[in-house]
């Protein structure tokens, strides 16, 4: 895929719906969009009637050459931008977006036969979902495994789509931190160094690892991966902020 240069575009909201109790899936039509790789993000810029502007980054849940792009935004209570995107944006509204951005945190089919391990915390699933979907749509035989940490079953983004991706090339491991389904094998609780090690492709297989989520989650996971013997050169991270 050729490198696409980032530019400002006008995007129109064409559809949106609740993704979870706190998050919204937003589909945008961007006629000038050059397409994007799986894992890219963009900047959204909002302008108030008095000219005040605020911009934030959002990963793109979709990938490929199309001009329709999908975002999934989780509300950060008391945040400046995310509550507006989750509650106030309406079909037909126009917003400015700058992108595609992020050439480092992307997955594309490659000659590297090593497995790919994706690790998401909360809304950090967005770029990893794009990677898993792009992988499923490709002929790439690389085994993919996704470890996804969420508070409860109600907080799973892309739940139906993820379920349909599961096959002999894609394994999904869900970890519930606060409430697990009745039939869950594991009691709810945060990931630990040991539980992470048990649920990811072992270091000896030298997987490529993509980690995304709130900054404290990403930093904890990256540290545990290094302790478990994973090479820093094989780990790519994207931090969504928060402390």
Ligand X SMILES: Cc1cc2nc3c(=O)[nH]c(=O)nc-3n(C[C@H](O)[C@H](O)[C@H](O)COP(=O)(O)OP(=O)(O)OC[C@H]3O[C@@H](n4cnc5c(N)ncnc54)[C@H](O)[C@@H]3O)c2cc1C
Q: Which two tokens stand for residue 181?
A: 């389904």
Interface size with ligand X, residues (CB under 6 A): 22
Q: Which of 16, 22, 36, 59 binds ligand X (CB under 6 A)?
A: 59
Q: Compute the least distance from the CB of residue 192 to ligand X, in Å.
A: 21
Q: How far apart are CA 191 and CA 221, in angstroms?
A: 8
82 binds ligand X (CB under 6 A): yes
Q: How far apart are CA 127 and CA 134, in angstroms?
A: 11
74 binds ligand X (CB under 6 A): yes
* 8 Å CB contact between 76 and 229: no
Q: Which of 9, 56, 145, 169 binds ligand X (CB under 6 A)?
A: 56
Say whether 21 sits in a helix, a strand or coil: coil
Stretch that binds ligand X, among 129-137, 171-179, 191-199, 235-243 (CB under 6 A): 235-243
133 binds ligand X (CB under 6 A): no
Residue whose CB is less far from ligand X, 37 or 238: 238
12 binds ligand X (CB under 6 A): no
DSSP state of 232: G
Sequence-separated (6 or more) residues with CB below 8 Å from residue 182: none
Q: How many other CB atoms are there within 10 angstroms of residue 74's CB atom?
A: 22
DSSP state of 63: -
Residue whose CB is less far from ligand X, 115 or 124: 124
Residue whose CB is less far from ligand X, 37 or 74: 74
39 binds ligand X (CB under 6 A): no
Stretch that binds ligand X, among 32-40, 66-74, 173-181, 191-199 (CB under 6 A): 66-74
CA atoms within 13 A on the CB side of 187: 0
Quick check: bond before 100 cis, omega within 30? yes
118 binds ligand X (CB under 6 A): no
Per DSSP, helices labelled H in 21-124 are 82-87
Q: Compute the least distance from the CB of residue 106 to ligand X, in Å.
A: 12
Residue with tokens 């000659």: 111
Q: Which of 69, 73, 156, 225 binds ligand X (CB under 6 A)?
A: 73
| Burial class of 164 by CB neighbour count within 10 A (0 to 12, 13 to 18, 19+) | exposed
Q: Which of 26, 76, 156, 174 binds ligand X (CB under 6 A)?
A: 76
Residue whose CB is less far from ligand X, 36 or 123: 123
Q: Which two tokens stand for residue 20?
A: 């979870």
Residue whose CB is less far from ligand X, 42 or 201: 42
Binding site for ligand X (CB under 6 A): 41, 56-59, 72-74, 76, 78-82, 123, 126, 214, 238, 240-243
């Amino acid at each position: 895929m050729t490198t696409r240069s980032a530019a400002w575009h006008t995007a129109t909201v064409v559809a949106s719906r609740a993704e979870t109790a706190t998050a919204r899936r937003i589909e945008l039509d961007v006629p000038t969009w050059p397409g994007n790789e799986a894992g890219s993000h963009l900047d959204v810029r909002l302008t108030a009637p008095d000219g005040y502007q605020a911009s934030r980054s959002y990963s793109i849940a979709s990938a490929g050459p199309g001009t329709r792009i999908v975002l999934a935004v989780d509300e950060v209570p008391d945040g400046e931008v995310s509550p507006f995107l989750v509650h106030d944006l309406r079909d037909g509204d126009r917003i400015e977006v700058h992108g595609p951005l992020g050439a480092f945190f992307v997955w594309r089919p490659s000659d590297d036969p090593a497995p790919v391990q994706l690790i998401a915390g909360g809304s950090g699933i967005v770029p990893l979902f794009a990677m898993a979907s792009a992988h499923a749509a490709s002929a790439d035989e690389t085994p993919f495994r996704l470890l996804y940490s969420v508070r409860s079953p109600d907080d799973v983004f892309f739940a139906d789509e993820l379920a349909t991706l599961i096959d002999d090339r894609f394994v999904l491991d869900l970890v519930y931190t606060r409430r697990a389904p009745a039939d869950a094998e594991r009691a709810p609780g945060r990931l630990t160094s040991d539980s992470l090690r048990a649920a990811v492709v072992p270091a000896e297989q030298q997987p490529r690892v993509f980690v995304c989520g709130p900054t404290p989650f990403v930093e904890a996971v990256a540290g545990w991966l290094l302790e478990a013997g994973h090479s820093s050169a094989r780990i790519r991270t994207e931090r969504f902020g928060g402390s």
